[in-house]
Structure 1
Amino acid sequence: MDKRRNHSKKVILLRKNLTITVGAILMALAVNLIFEPMGLVTGGLAGLAIVVKEVTNFLWEGGIPIWLFTVLSNVPLFLIAIRLLGIKTMFNVLLGTAVYVLTMMVVPIYNFKFEDLLLASLVGGAISGVGLGMVFSASASTGGTDLLATIIHAYNRHISTPIILTFIDGAIILLGAFVFGLENALYAIIAVFVSAKVSDGIVEGLKFAKMAYIISDEYEKIAEAIMTGLDRGVTGLSSTGMYSNKDRKMLFCVVSKKEIVKITEIAKSIDPKSFIIVNDVREVMGEGFIEYRQ
């Protein structure tokens, strides 16, 4: 039993590290193959590195490499974060950052010469979003401004991390507008929007479900049909109709997106007058869905 449990933990850890690795590689490819060649400053440490590379041409032939600036910037952030959060908490971030930097260092910057900046921003945002979503789904990051925002929040608890991150990234995009022009900055914002939507879809899509409330006098029959037909748990909540002043059970059930249609069919077939409320559920953990693992 212990051997099986240990093997399962190793498989989970391997899958998690592989997800972080692939995600970090995709993020680095988006920077080297699209954002940097097209001058799209999409915020984050990578965006700042693109600006620094552009303005340091007179100091360094071709400018300071993005990967080098990323390493130099992350070192002090990691030292502070390790002191605040502990080395164990930072392992996933270290892995993501290491793969991210190594990929940018190994993969040469190549300009695909997109004639349309909109197409470049959409493609770059999508690739970056997939990578970011994979990294976030494994509870990791690639350091940079995410780490900086976390550190600032540790010293200023009254300001939330997302707000801090928004101000930092906004300042970097504004800086990019001065260096590469307003048009590039606006297209960079489109890339950021696409990246955020894609990454959110990946992270939330893994745990997305539907929640149904069913009000009916035939609640016992409906609950039994759901439990036997779909093998889903149902909870009966005590409720009172304020118009009729009648006590009854209101059924509460969380199911997958595909099963919500069957829930409605079951309820309506038993009681055509049943009242059904369906809501989106962003995250579900527990039996029948995603199990929580530390």
Structure 2
Amino acid sequence: MFRKLIEDASTWHWWREWMLIFLGCIMMGTAFVFFINPYKFVPGGVYGLGIVLHNIFPSIQVGTFGYMLDVPLMIVALLVFGGQFGARTVAAALFTPGYMNLLTRAVYPNEAAVESLDPALLLNGQLNLSDDLLLTAIMGAVIIGVGQGIVVRQQATTGGTDIVAMLLQKFAGIKFSTGILLADGAVVLAGLLVIGFGLGTGEAGEKGWVLTLYSLITIFTTSRVIAYVLDGASYDKLLFINSDHHDELRRFIIEDLDRSATYIKARGMYTGNEREMIFLVISRKEVRQVQHKIKEIDPRAFLVVTDAYDTFGEGFKPFPSADVMQAE
């Protein structure tokens, strides 16, 4: 009975991971079709490069370019990250551009509209956000970031610069989100040359360089959302407490907060006197309580409160495994 429960739980975990991978891919593909491709934003990645190439070869869909660019990178992922990771990468990278192509044909009325990607024709003009480009860029970036983060949390990737960023993190120690930002910069530059200045098309956009600025906003927002989805927001605070009332503060920290702290030996620069400073990490919601208690115990205490970017250990987050992708 117990063994069967374990097997059922393992099976459910496997299915859940795959469902989340496809959910993330669907979110990404939908965001590109509705908020990115029609407005010629170039948010990096193989699909951003696909948008650039689609402007040169409009008969080829953005998703199709995704296939053409992803295959070499998927081969690298298979070789570097192993069979299980490679299988997930291949599934996500093959599903996303195909879904984008199918959705694009479903929301545009005809082949000419698919080639032009005119937002005025998207859903028969029901979702034309041409007058709200900033809102469009942010909405697309947030949805892409959430979807991409969900996929990467399952130790997969949608291909493209995801793989480039993961290679940079693995071999060069560069942050995952920073790697994406760097790799995508080259794609944005290509978008500026093609869409902004008409290189390869002979038709420079009236405000193509403005679209490049929106693309940069999209990339930055996406990278921040990915980091949030992967690592979460840090709500911990780091406190340094300098006081002569250690016994009362010790009782408060251990008994009331149900936490521990560390004494750090310190010496006053002006007086030269040696004393012990309390080093304490708490959640953000506990800061006000600690401030009031310190004021009650020792109004002359010296307190410094700063952000703890990441906190690992007992009572906080577990240490990440070596093979778990970290955004920062």
Residue matched to 1:84: 80
Residue matched to 1:233: 260
1:174 to 189, 196, 201: 189
DSSP-derived class of the 2:53 partner: helix
Q: Deviations over 1:121-165 (max 9, x none)?
A: 12212222322343445554322023135557888x599877765
Please list, as runs of the form range in 1=range in 2, the aligned pairs for 1:1-294 lying within 5 A after superposition. 17-57=18-58, 63-90=59-86, 93-94=89-90, 96-108=92-104, 110=107, 111=122, 112-116=127-131, 117-151=133-167, 157=172, 165-181=180-196, 182-292=209-319, 294=321
AA in 1 matched with 2:46: L
Is the 1:219–1:250 contact (alpha carbons within 8 Å) kept by the matching residues of 2? no
DSSP-derived class of the 2:104 partner: coil
Unaligned runs of 5+ residues in structure 1 are 58-62
C-alpha RMSD over aligned residues: 3.2
TM-score, normalisation: structure 2: 0.74
Go from structure 1 to structure 2 and tell me whether the alpha carbon gap of 1:134 and 1:164 turns closer, same or farther (over 3 Å shift).
closer
- Report deviation, 1:222: 0.8
- Report deviation, 1:35: 0.7
- Report deviation, 1:233: 2.0
What is the aligned residue count?
288
Q: Deviations over 1:78-104 (max 9, x none)?
A: 212322332244455445435534532
TM-score, normalisation: structure 1: 0.82
DSSP-derived class of the 1:108 partner: helix
DSSP-derived class of the 1:73 partner: helix
AA in 2 matched with 1:188: S
Q: Identity of aligned pairs, percent? A: 30
- Report deviation, 1:234: 1.3
Q: Deviations over 1:231-264 (max 9, x none)?
A: 1221222222232333322111211111122222
Whole-Å separation in 1 of the counterparts to 2:167 and 2:310:
27
Is the 2:177–2:226 contact (alpha carbons within 8 Å) kept by the matching residues of 1? no
Go from structure 1 to structure 2 and tell me whether the alpha carbon gap of 1:48 and 1:137 turns closer, same or farther (over 3 Å shift).
same
Is the 2:181–2:220 contact (alpha carbons within 8 Å) kept by the matching residues of 1? no
